[in-house]
Amino acid sequence: MTYELPKLEYPYTSLEPFMDSKTVEIHYSKHHQAYVNKLNETLQDYPDLQEKKVEDLLKNLKEIPEEIRQSIINFGGGHFNHSFFWQILKKDTKFSGKISKAIEKKFGSYEKFKENFTKSALGLFGSGWTWLVLNKNKELEIIQTKNQDSPISQGMKPLITIDVWEHAYYLVKV
């Protein structure tokens, strides 16, 4: 079994003007694809691990042979984080239901949450991600991860994320 780029459920243009279509296209078809390819290369000689879901690899890093562990963190994380990211992006949407109530309770208001989340993303030095997660105590928390580290490796459940790698917003030739 090999890992595959998940289908993008919307056209590249559908996040404009917040994310332009060319940036989304390159981010998805080049950057995300590269993580998938490198994950497959990493697991070439590990048929047993190829059978596992990428989530299971990242949740049980201790079980990954040391010689490929960092590659799994980087490329498996890159694959998982982006797959999650594409799923949660939507414009003209309104927070509602349980998560909206939980956010208000934790942060005071949705506006306040947005402010904190933005501050966290802008304050990230270098490449990484900002997340709203359900932490180990089942509480909402805004966290940052470096590079392609994934919160699921720390026993956290991701709810919302923003990719703060330069490739997510700054169009470069690849």
The phi, psi pair for 130, rounded to 5°, reads -110, 140
Alpha helices in the chain (DSSP H): 21-26, 33-42, 47-50, 54-59, 66-71, 77-88, 97-107, 110-122
Beta carbon of residue 31, minimum distance to Mn ion (angstroms, whole number): 5
| CB closer to Mn ion out of 80 and 117 | 80
User: Taking the complex as a whole, how short is the minimal distance between the CB of residue 167 and Mn ion, in angstroms?
Assistant: 5
Half-sphere exposure of 76 (CA within 13 A, CB side): 25
165 scored as a contact of Mn ion (CB under 5 A):
yes
Q: Which residue's CB is nearer to Mn ion, number 18 or number 67?
A: 18
Question: What's at 120, amino acid-wise?
Answer: S
Query: Whole-angstrom Cα distance, residue 50 to residue 30?
Result: 22
Question: Which two tokens mark 6?
Answer: 């998940």
Cβ distance to Mn ion smaller for residue 31 or 59: 31
* Residue 89 touches Mn ion, criterion: CB under 5 A: no
What minimum distance in Å lies between the beta carbon of 15 and Mn ion?
A: 14
Between CA 169 and CA 174, with CA 173 as vertex, the angle to 5 degrees is 100
Q: Based on CB atoms, which residue is closest to Mn ion, 59 or 167?
A: 167
Distance, CA of 124 to CA of 117 (rounded, Å): 11
Q: Which of 23/42 has CB closer to Mn ion?
A: 23
Specify whether the backbone of 72 is left (phi greater than 0), alpha (psi in -120 to 50) or beta.
alpha
- Minimum CB–partner distance for residue 168 and Mn ion (Å): 5
Where does this chain touch Mn ion (CB under 5 A) — which range of 41-49, 96-104, 125-133, 166-174?
166-174
Site membership for Mn ion, residue 35 (CB under 5 A): no
How many residues bind Mn ion (CB under 5 A)? The answer is 3
Among 44, 163, 164, 172, binds Mn ion (CB under 5 A): 163
For Mn ion, the binding residues (CB under 5 A) are 163, 165, 168
